[in-house]
Amino acid sequence: MHGPAAGGPPPRDQPVIVQPEIGVLGLLVAERDGEPHVLLQAKAEPGNIDGIQLSPTVQATRSNYTRVHRGGATRYLEHFTGPGRGRVLVDSLQSEQGAWFWRKHNRNMVVEPVGEVAEHPDYRWVALRTVRRLLRVDHLVNMDTRSVLGCLPPESASVADASVADTSVTDAFVADTSAPRSLTSWLIDAKQSCPWRTRLVPLADVRGWTRTDTEIAADSGRSFRIIAVRVAAGTREVRQWAQPLLAPGGRGLAAFLCRSAGPVPRVLVRARTEPGLGDLVEIGPTVQWTTDTGPATPEEAGPFDAMALTADTARVRFDAELSEEGGRFHRAATRYRVVEADDALDDLLDGARLPADYRWLTVPQLRALVVRGQHVNVQARSLLACLAAPPPL
C-alpha cells in the first residue's frame, strides 16, 4: 500500500492484511429472568492475550461457515442466516482496523431467536448488564463482541452513570436511528477533502520493509511485524492450521473526551484517516494511537493527546486494557479510556473553535451513525460499548 497523495503526509509503504470476505459477528439476545441476556462463547484465538476471551455467539468468516476448509459446522449460524433465522434487531456492515486491514468488513448482527436455544458447553447466556460490567476487566471481552455491543444503545444516556437496567429486550434495542444531516455532511466533507491515495502493490515491492525466514519487519524497527504461527485447536471448525499474524510494536491508545455535565452528555469524535478504510475516513475516537508511546504517524497526532492521558482519576470515567482481534493480530492490546474534558480548556473545546476534523456528538447521534454502517471505526465502536459499562463497584 502506497500513499498518500500530494498535500498530505509523506508517502509510505506498509504491508496490510487482505481479507475480502464478509464474515458474521452475531449475538443472540433473549429475555431471561426478566432482563436481556446474550449468548457468548468462551473462545481461544492464536493471538489472544490470556488465552480464552468472551466472543459473540457467531464469529465466523465466510470460509468458516461455508466450510471451504472442510471443517465442522458453525454453531448457531442458523439463527443469523437463511429463512429460519430469528428476529433481526441489529444488522449493519462495519469496518475493522484501517491501519492494518485492507477494506475489511464484517456483518454485525443482533438476533432474537425463535424458541429456546440450548447452551453448548463452550457457551453461556450472560445478562447484558453483566457483560457491560465485564468490559472493565482487562482482556476479557473480545474485540468482536465489543464491536457488536457498540451497535446497541447504552442502558443510560449518562456517560458518568450508566447503571440503569433495561426492562425488556425491546426496550434494550429500540433507539432513534436518525442523525442530523449536518453530521453526515461533515463526514462526507472530510472524505471528499482527504488528500490520500492508496493502492495495493506486490509485497516484494514494499519499500522500507525486509522479509526474512521468520518475519516481515520495518527497517526502522518502529512499526508492527508480520509473523507466522502454527495452531492446533480441538474445539474449532478446523483442528489445525498455519497462518500469518500481525504483531504490533506496542500497546495502542483509544480515548473519548466527554462532557457529562449539562442536559445532554457528549463525546468528542474525530474524522479519522486510515489507509485501509474503503473511503479512507471514518469517525474515530478523540485520540487514537497504534502505540501508546505517542503518535506513530502524522495523522495520529492531535491537540487533545495530553488531555486523554490525564492522571487525574476524578476525570477518568473508564480505563481498561482490551485485546484486539486475536485471530489476525498477535497480542494486540489497546488502552481504552473515557475522560471528562478539562474545564480549563473550554476555549479550545468550544464547538466553534474546534479543528475542522473534530465534532461534539451525543451518544444517540453517534450510535445513529453506527447503525448506518461504515461510518464509525472499530475503536470508536469499542468505546461506545465501554460508555455503557456501569461504574466500578
Q: How far apart are CA 46 and CA 44, in angstroms?
A: 7
**Residue in the block written with cell 478446523:** 238
By the 8 A CB rule, do 59 and 43 touch?
yes
Residue 18 has pLDDT above 70, yes or no: yes
What is Dmax (Cα atoms) for the chain? Answer: 60
Report the side by side order of strands in the sheet with 240-247: 209-211, 215-218, 225-232, 240-247
User: What whole-number distance in Å separates Cα of residue 34 and Cα of residue 211?
Assistant: 56
pLDDT range class, residue 224, cuts 50, 70, 90: very high
N-to-C CA span, the chain: 46
pLDDT in tens, 278-328: 999 999 999 999 886 678 777 888 999 999 999 999 999 999 999 999 999
Confidence band of 173 (pLDDT split at 50, 70, 90): low
256 contacts 334 by C-beta, under 8 angstroms: no
| Domain spans, the chain | 1-393
Pairing of strands 281-284, 35-44: unpaired
Helix (H) or strand (E) holding 211: strand 209-211
pLDDT of residue 28: 98
**Lowest mean pLDDT across 130-134, 221-225, 314-318, 350-354:** 350-354
What are the pLDDT digits (tens) for 111-150?
A: 999 999 999 999 999 999 999 999 999 999 999 999 999 9
- CA-wise closest residue to 205 among 4, 6, 13: 13
Rounded to an integer, the average pLDDT of 51-67 is 91
What is the structure's pLDDT at 71? 77
Give the mean model confidence (pLDDT) for residues 19-30. Answer: 96
| Alpha-carbon gap, residue 255 to 264, rounded angstroms | 19
**pLDDT at 44 exceeding the cut of 50:** yes
Q: Which whole number is the average pLDDT over 42-63?
A: 95
Task: Provide CB contacts within 8 A for 291, sequence distance 6+.
Answer: 248, 249, 250, 251, 252, 253
State the cell numbers at 55: 466472543
Cβ–Cβ contacts within 10 Å for residue 130, how many? 13
- Residue 5: the pLDDT is 61
**CA atoms of 5 and 37, how far apart (whole Å):** 48
Q: In the predicted model, is pLDDT for residue 9 greater than 70?
A: no
| Distance, CA of 323 to CA of 203 (rounded, Å) | 27
Give the model's pLDDT for residue 261: 76
Omega of the bond leading into 11 within 30 degrees of 0 (cis): no
Cβ-proximal residues to 28 (8 Å cutoff; 6+ apart), any chain: 38, 39, 57, 76, 79, 86, 111, 112, 113, 117
Percentage of the chain lying above the pLDDT 70 cut: 89
Of the pLDDT bands very low, low, confident and very high (cuts 50, 70, 90), residue 162 is very low
* CATH numeric code, 1-393: 3.90.79.40
Question: Distance between CA 304 and CA 286 in Å, rounded?
Answer: 7
Nearest-angstrom CA–CA distance, 211 and 214: 8
